[in-house]
Chain A
Amino acid sequence: MEENTNRISLDEYKKYKKRSLAADVWHNYKKSPSAMVGLILIVIIIVLAIAAQLIYDYEVDIVQQDLSQRFIAPNTEHLFGTDQYGRDVLTRVLYGAKYSLAVGIVSVAISCAIGATLGLIAGYYGGVIENVIMRFCDIFMGIPSVLLGIAIMSAFGQSLIVLMLAVGLVYMSAFARTARSAVLPVRDQEYIEAAKVAGVSDLKIIFSHVLPNSLSPIIVQVTMGVANGILTASFLSFLGLGVPVPAPEWGAMLSSGRQYIRDYSYLTNFPGLAIMITVLAFNLMGDGLRDALDPKLKQ
């Protein structure tokens, strides 16, 4: 009888062997064409953003103007045309990628670092601590995010760092909530109980047991958060509260091109398209990651 179990070949065994989480996620992720499109787009945008930093000189290509070249419609020399100061729009759109990416990524890093930590603590300890933390988050949830962003920008002045902080703070509560609800089901698991009994410190339990098991929703939130962060930041810039000119932040470009929309609509369309594609790429990646991390949710 015993030899019968050997009927499973080694190959089959390998197939069933548990892959590492990352490999597993990647295996699922690459199956989705839309998710791959998102990933490729993000890679392209990052590569273009870096290339633009290397190719263009801020003081020359971004700051300097040539009023004799203003409002040239898109042509072979200026693929995206020139703006009201005679600056090449393509150059500016490419150079501007770094602002959106930086704001999106850093602000999410901020909101995730603060929010997820608060959420983990709230979810893990429960009780009064949870109540205090979650009510604290309610404060930020209650204020419409754009208004909160505007208030923070007004308070601390216009700059890239403040913009990152503002967007980060706006979305902090969302992370706290996600992290907390991800921890709740994990909190009562027996292995956590076992670790506690074994005398493992709370910090260690949180980081080595709770966090890894509630990571999936946080990872998804991060990707979606980047998309949202880029949108919010570009809106703040659109209102004139973002990165100061002449930095070619896309929202600010849209805003300054807006008064010329009737005759030179390309001034608003190219930055608008750039924002949309970037946000779309992160949304696609977020969708893909969600499906890959939790095949049960796959739709």
Chain B
Amino acid sequence: MKKILALLLAMAMIFSLAACSGSNEPAQSGGDDQPSGEPHYKDTIIIAMADEFTTIDPTATTAETNQIVQDLVIDLLTDTNLNTITNEGELVDHWEMVAPDDWIFYLKPGINFHDGTVLDVDDVEFSLMVRGPEKSTAANYVAKIKEFIKIDDLTFECKLVAGDVDFNYTFAANALSIQSKEAFESMPEEEAVKIGTGPFMFEEFVPGDYVSLVRFENCTSAPVPNTRRLVFKMIPEASARMIALENGEVDVIMSPAATDYSRLSDSDEFQLLTTTGRGQHFIAFNLQNANSIVSDPKFRLAVAKAIDKDEMVLAAWDGYAQVSTSIQCRDVEFYADIEGIPYDPEGAKALFEELGVVGSTIKLVTSDADHRVKMAENFQAQMAKYGVKIDVEYMQQSALIELLTSDGPTSGVELSIVSWTPGKNADYMYRNPIHSQGGRNYAHLQDPEIDALIDEAAGEVDRTRRAELYKELQEKLTCEIINWVPIAQATLTMGAAKGVEGILLHPALVHSFKGVQKLED
């Protein structure tokens, strides 16, 4: 029996040792081909991600973590310039709006794909018109195109189903990445999706562990990077990412814990990169049930006055968020800096008493995401001071969306804590979550006047007039209708070793690592 035991132990030992040593740690192997004399850059940069990377196929998911990696490998026709936060051409050199429903795009010449072929309109047509309609993530966008006309190898025209003055933004959707037609014809789909025009090529993916990319030496869509290899390592725990950075195991960490911000910014070895996120976090009122107290504008005003947003920011984001005064997000085009409804505990108290809601219970739903739980917990605590009891139900994110989009007047939901991350253009800010036809109208606002304003603003070609319309929308919604109480836009952060440069933070989390590099001495 001793033998059995010894054998068992030995087997287990060998197995785990072999398995351990055999596991592919993203190697920092040397291959430095930088000639001496010129600036010497770190060969491999390792980035610790919080969420799991799952696929390189841009049409498969819309998860930001995937998009970050996909963005390095596969390019889009237009994309957000992260320095100016405006929509610019990426593979497209420039475009012309012949009419709101007729657009002509001119591709950049000589763009190389990883497989050696050169980008032309056929690749675009294949990606948009052949692959696009099959993919649920892309179909909605390409459905806008009534007719795709190839003018020459580098020029194409899109005739639209309906006029859209912001059509260029459409091509910034990640699902509309441009891929090589030749690659799809010559290799299996799972290989072909890895072929793009980006500055990095797909190297290896170990699920749950890491994904690695190598420099595309013949890159013409962007400058050839100074970093030879990028490794995205998945470390879900924030404290673990921080340790990894401190121990020099990684060079960059995404979303460090708020408690580590000062450790990063005050250190000589590290830096804290920040930007204000575009996501608007807000408390929405369910306006469907006329009998509910939340249907009373006075109550909504009282809640808006009652919330100490600064305290909530401290509770939910440890202070790292920008308090919102308007329903519209700051960096979205045509933002007007309105005052909104300031914190007024006395006014709120008086209103609550007048309404006779002290001692009553209001039902709130939200998801189990960390900051939402914290917001809800703090909201509950703040309202408890006014004597208003908040009964919170936490649910999984998709369950929440399902409930909020399909709930009838009888669901009992009165409040919800949700967020909205508008992309691209100002219309996006209002179309879905506020327009009565919008798919994510969580407050179930049915206001013809607002609908008319949204429609008018979207079709307005004159930018000054458009700005006025959006300001009117902001003031009406924030101060009069109060379908939401906007709380804050969270600060997005990244930690990096000193000397790491070229990272561009994206307000909607699709950060760019195209230029990431670290000078070494």
Contacts and interface: CB of A to CB of B under 8 A. Distances in A.
A and B touch in the complex (CB under 8 A): yes
Interface string A213-241: 00000000000000000000000000010
A59 B394 contact: no
Nearest to B378: A65
Contact of B377 (A59, A85, A261): A85
Which of B238, B315, B381 has the largest count of A CB atoms less than 10 A from its CB?
B381
A168 B384 CA distance: 34
A263 B395 CA distance: 30
Nearest to B311: A67
B384 A240 contact: no
A258 B396 CA distance: 21
A127 to B, nearest CB: 37
A154 interface: yes
A245 B373 contact: yes
Contacts of A263: 259
Dominant SS among interface residues on chain A = loop
Given A157-B395, A259-B259, A64 B381 contact: yes
Contacts of B381: 63-65, 85, 246
A246 B380 CA distance: 9
B380 A63 contact: yes
A85 B376 CA distance: 12
Interface residues of B, number: 27
Given A60-B384, A64-B381, A244-B393, A85 B239 contact: no
Contacts of B389: 59
Given A60-B384, A157-B395, A67 B259 contact: no
B503 interface: no
Interface in B111-151: none
Given A64-B384, A64-B385, A245-B377, A259 B257 contact: yes
A245 B392 CA distance: 9
B368 interface: yes
Nearest to A244: B394
Contacts of B314: 67, 70
A240 B238 CA distance: 17
A270 interface: no
B378 A261 contact: no
Contacts of B385: 64
Contacts of B376: 245
A261 B240 CA distance: 11
A32 interface: no
A32 B393 CA distance: 46
A158 interface: yes
Nearest to A158: B394
A154 B393 contact: no
Given A245-B377, A259-B257, A260-B259, A154 B396 contact: yes
A99 to B, nearest CB: 16
Interface in B309-336: 311, 314-315, 318
Interface string B250-261: 000000011110
Nearest to A70: B314
B299 to A, nearest CB: 20
A260 B393 CA distance: 25
A157 B499 CA distance: 47
A85 B368 contact: no
B312 to A, nearest CB: 9
A82 interface: no
Contacts of A63: 380-381, 384
A244 B315 contact: no
Interface of A: 59-60, 63-65, 67, 70, 84-85, 154, 157-158, 240, 244-246, 258-263
Return the 9 tightest CB-CB contacts between A and B, nearest first: A65-B381, A63-B384, A64-B381, A244-B394, A67-B314, A64-B384, A259-B257, A245-B377, A67-B311
29 contacts: A59-B384, A59-B389, A60-B384, A63-B384, A64-B381, A64-B384, A64-B385, A65-B377, A65-B378, A65-B382, A67-B315, A85-B315, A85-B377, A85-B378, A157-B393, A158-B393, A158-B395, A240-B373, A244-B392, A245-B376, A245-B394, A246-B381, A258-B239, A259-B239, A259-B257, A260-B257, A260-B259, A262-B239, A262-B242
